Amino acid sequence: MKKSCLWRGIRCVVYSLIVMMLALPVAHAAGEVNVYSYRQPYLVEPLFKAFTKTSGIKVNVIFVKKGLIERMAAEGVNSPADILLTVDIGRLTGAVAKGVTQPVKSSVLRKNIPAAYRDPAGQWFGLTRRARVVYASKDRVKQDAITYEELADPKWKGKICIRSGQHVYNVALIASMISHHGEAKTKEWLNGVKENLARKPSGNDRSQIKGVYSGECDLAVGNTYYMAKMMLNDKQPEQKKWAASVKMLFPNTAARGAHINVSGVVLAKYAPHKANAIKLMEFLSGDEAQKIYASVNHEYPVKAGVAWSDLVKSWGDFKADTILLEEVAKNRKRASELVDEVGFNEGPNSS
C-alpha cells in the first residue's frame, strides 16, 4: 500500500514536470521583438502595449533621433534589430539602399496597405499618411484654394516661409513635382518659389507657421500633423496662437491632389525574431493600431475605412495624389540636386 502511494506520488511529480516542460516552448514562442525607432516614444508606445496585450510578444525599443540606419549597417549580421520605424519615403528607401532590409511577403500587409504606400518588392510599408500643405494667414490671404505650382507666382514674392529645401519632406515634394512636370519645369518652378521666399529657409515646420503668425510671411509649407502638435501643445501655449492664425490649404485638390508622404516600417535584414517582427508589422497595419495612430498621432491611416480623429476631420476632406511613392522616390536624388543648382537655401536674390 505504501509502495503504491509512493509510486503514485512519483508519477504525479513526473507528470507535473512534463507539463512544465511542455509549457516552456509556448512561453518561448511568444518571445520578443526588437524595434529601432526614429519615432518619438509617446507616438508609438501605445501601439506596442496594444500589440503585447494581443500577442503576448514583448516589444523592446531603442529610440534614437539619428543614425539608426547607419547603426544597423555597422552591426551587420549581429544586429539585434527586427524592424525599423521611420518617417518619409526618403528614409524608407534609404534603408533599402543601405542594404539593411529584407522583403516581406504578407497577404495581410498587401490587403491593409494600398499599393501607392508600399514597395512593390515588399521592402518597405507605409503605416500612416501625412499631406504636405500650405498654411495661409487667415487675415491676409483671402483665397481658400491653392496649388503647389502657384507658389512660384510672383504675386507671392516675399511672402513664403519654408524649411530647408534639403529636408527630406521638401525633397519628396520636389521629387513629386518632377514626377508630374519633368526636371526642366520643376527647376523653373523651384527657382520661382525661391524668389518668393520671405527669408532663407531654416527651422522646422512649426517655425514656418510662427512666421505667418508674426507677419514675416503670408504662406508656410508644412505637414498636416503639425497643426495638431500646435493646437494641443499645453507646454508651449504660444503655439496655439500660431495655429489659430492660419488656415490649412490642401494644394491641388481640384486636380491631381495633395502630395502625400508616409511614416513606415521595414524588416531588418538579419532580424533575429523574424516571425514576431512580421506579426508586429501586420498588427501596425490593422484596424486597432490604425485607430491608435489616428487618435494619438493625428495622422491619416493608410488602411481604408479607419476613421480619422475628430481633430483631423475638422480640417476638412481633400484629394490625395495617387502617384506611387516608389515613383517619387526615384526622383529624390535629382530633386536634391535641383535644390543646390538653384541655390534654394540661399534665399531670394537681393535684386
What does residue 229 show for φ and ψ, rounded to 5 degrees?
Answer: -60, -35
* Alpha carbon 172 to chain centroid, angstroms: 12
Query: For residue 131, what is the enclosing H or E element?
Result: strand 125-137
Radius of gyration of the chain (CA): 25
Q: Cell 514597395 identifies what position? A: 119
**Buried b or exposed e, range 217-240, using 16+ CB within 10 angstroms:** bbbbbbbbbbbbbbeeeeeeeebe
Structural domains in the chain, sorted by start = 31-129+260-307 (3.40.190.10), 130-258+319-346 (3.40.190.10)
**Other Cβ atoms within 10 Å of 255 Cβ, number:** 11
**Residue pLDDT tens, the chain, 351 long:** 444 444 454 444 333 333 333 333 323 346 999 999 999 888 899 999 999 999 999 999 999 989 999 999 999 999 999 999 999 999 999 999 999 999 999 999 999 999 999 999 999 999 999 999 999 999 999 999 999 999 999 999 999 999 999 999 999 999 999 999 999 999 999 999 999 999 999 999 999 999 999 999 999 999 999 999 999 998 999 999 999 999 999 999 999 999 999 999 999 999 999 999 999 999 999 999 999 999 988 999 999 999 999 999 999 999 999 999 999 999 999 999 999 999 999 999 854
Helices 89-97, 68-75: axis angle to 10 degrees equals: 20
Model pTM greater than 0.85? yes
- Burial classification of residue 344, based on how many CB atoms lie within 10 Å of its CB (0-12 exposed, 13-18 middle, 19 or more buried): buried
pLDDT in tens, 70-125: 999 999 999 999 999 999 999 999 999 999 999 999 999 999 999 999 999 999 99
HSE, side-chain direction, 13 A CA sphere, residue 94: 18
- Per the CB < 8 A criterion, the answer to whether 144 and 332 are in contact is no
Rounded CA separation 139/236 (Å): 23
What is the Cα–Cα distance from 198 to 217, expressed in whole angstroms?
6
* pLDDT of 209: 98
Using the structure block, give the residue that is written with the C-alpha cell 525599423: 84
CA dihedral 130, 133, 137, 138 (to 10 degrees): -70
Q: In whole angstroms, what is the distance from residue 342 CA to residue 122 CA?
A: 35
Is residue 40 within a helix (H) or strand (E), and if so which, with residue range? none
Q: Is 181 helix (H, G, I), strand (E, B) or coil?
A: helix
Residue 325: predicted pLDDT: 95
In this prediction, residue 30 carries a pLDDT of 61
Note the pLDDT of residue 132. 98
Positive or negative, the Cα torsion across 84, 87, 93, 97? negative
CB 221 within 8 A of CB 134: yes
Alpha-carbon span 286 to 148, nearest angstrom: 33
Amino acid at 107: S
What's the one-letter identity of residue 351? Answer: S
Integer distance in angstroms from the first to the last C-alpha of the chain?
A: 110
